[in-house]
Structures are given as C-alpha cells and as structure tokens.
Homo-oligomer: A and B are copies of this chain.
Amino acid sequence: MDDVDRILLTELQRDATQAYAALGKAVGLSAGAAHERVRKLRDQEVIRRTTVDVDPAAVGRGVAAFVLVEANAWMGDHPVREALEALPEVVEAHVIAGPASLLVKVRTATTEDLQASLRRLFAIDGVTGTQTIVVLESFFERPVDTRG
C-alpha cells in the first residue's frame, strides 16, 4: 500500500468503469502495471468488491433514519446480527459505545414503513426501547477517503 495504490483506489471509487489504460495514466504506469496493482488490492481485500451506487429514492427507499436500539442484555451476539440482517430495510448495524447498545440505519419508502420497521426492531429479543433520528436531508454520503 503506497501512494500509487491510494490514488488508484480514489480513482476507482470515483469511476470503476474506466479502462486500466486510463488508470495507468493517472498514476504514470502502463495499463498492465495498473492492472496488476488493482488485482493485488482485490486479492488482499483492500478492494472488497466492485458495485454500483443506487439512488435510494429511485427504488422506493426515500426515507432514511438512524435508530438507537436499547437492550436489557448484551446485543453484540450473532442471533441479533442475524435478526437485523433479515430486515431488508436495515442497511447498517453497529454495536456502539454510548447511549444505547446498537445503532442501525434504516431506509424505507414512507414514514409509515419506518414505523413498521421500528415495530420489527422492537420485536427482537432483548430490545427494550428505540430512539429514532429521522433524516430530513442528506448533504452527502461518500466513500472513505483513502489519503489524508
């Protein structure tokens, strides 16, 4: 992982469809050399996968919320994880240090669906309460900065 790799990662985050020749040009390498570096980054799982960024509103997920989940027992175990993974509206789930046990990010079509989701979170074993933060506007959601 040197500076060349970091630039390659930034370029791929910006546009993963560009040709290796273009990537190579961005770092002063040949297409083949750029290809080899990217292959290694994939092997090491620095690059976990190539994916597309989908507009949530366009697929009926225009409402976003963060939900602090309080529990009467340790929530950092696998049954809880699986229960959350089974909920398609839950896009992130984190074990946290702070005012609750978990923080989950939810995306739904409407606030009614958000309410339904909260009911489902409540139904998870050990959950004693939720505190919901509704997103009014997202300034940005961007990939991790690979430099700085």
Contacts and interface: CB of A to CB of B under 8 A. Distances in A.
Interface in A87-141: 88-89, 91-99, 103, 107, 131-141
A43 interface: no
Interface in A23-79: 44-56, 58-59, 61, 64, 66, 68, 76
A132 B96 CA distance: 10
A18 B138 CA distance: 31
Contact of A139 (B64, B95, B144): B95
A95 B84 CA distance: 25
Contacts of A137: 76, 94-95
A70 B82 CA distance: 34
Contacts of A46: 54-55, 58-59
A54 B76 CA distance: 24
Contacts of A49: 14-16, 52-53
A146 B54 contact: yes
A139 B84 contact: yes
Given A55-B45, A59-B146, A139-B84, A133 B103 contact: yes
Contacts of A135: 94-96, 103
Q: Which 5 A-B pairs have the closest CB atoms?
A: A88-B145, A98-B133, A88-B148, A93-B139, A46-B58
